[in-house]
Amino acid sequence: MWTEAADLEILMERLAEAGVSMLLRVDVERYNENTPHWTLAFGGPALDSDTAFRVDARTLGQCVSRGLRRLRDQHESWDWLDDWV
């Protein structure tokens, strides 16, 4: 599991090596409305257009965990993601 910014950088680089782009965003308008304001979007050559997706959550930790679980579920051979969820 990732715990700090350096871990997030390692995770994102590992995903890039696997052919996955990951975009991280926090939305100030949704933050001010107290709605899920963290967003992760996944795409890239390892995911076809039908499996690219995004995840929204109230915390960064929730967002990363949900996104990685969904990514792992789409690619059974990516059990290395278990270490990050």
pTM beyond 0.85: no
- Tens of pLDDT along the chain (85 residues) come to 656 667 888 999 999 999 999 999 999 999 999 899 999 999 999 987 788 999 999 999 899 999 999 998 888 788 888 888 7
In whole angstroms, give the CA distance from residue 46 to residue 61: 23
pLDDT at 2: 59
The Cα-based distances of 79 to 33, 59, 74 in angstroms read: 36, 24, 11
3-state secondary structure of 67: helix
Q: Degrees (nearest 5) of the Cα angle 77, 26, 67? A: 15
